[in-house]
Amino acid sequence: MTTANTKLRRTAALTALAAGLVGSVMGAAYAATPGTASASVRVAYSDLNLHSDQGNKELYARIVSAARTVCAADQVDIRDLNALAIERSCEQQAVSSAVNQVHSPKLAAVYSAHLHGG
């Protein structure tokens, strides 16, 4: 896969991960380039109490896991610094977008704590 295709796929993944969480109890994230099959990750959180710290920590963990899957973290050769940087950027943007879409102050606090090494 070329770098341009990889970037396009990951950009689509970011948009889809954020969109997948909007206004629903089940979210889906899709990553695809034209002419390829799409990958899908569901982020379910209807079972979580988003009024509790524990529920928000669990949702954050699920979002991070979905972002790593959609951004293909397991397929990156860590010796390829450009690919690693693209994957990390994809992950960070996907998580940020998804957290913002949930509109939970407690989830935003969990995200902020992780950003600042918490």
Looking at the predicted structure, is the pLDDT value of residue 5 above 70?
no
What's the pLDDT tens digit per position in 48-87? 999 999 999 999 999 999 999 989 889 999 999 999 999 9
Residue ranges of the domains in the chain? 3-115
The string of DSSP codes covering 2-71 is -HHHHHHHHHHHHHHHHHHTTTSSEEEEEE--TTSPPEEEEEE-TTS-TTSHHHHHHHHHHHHHHHHHHT
pLDDT at 3: 53
77-117 pLDDT tens trace: 999 999 999 999 988 988 998 899 899 999 999 999 999 88
pLDDT of 17 reads: 57
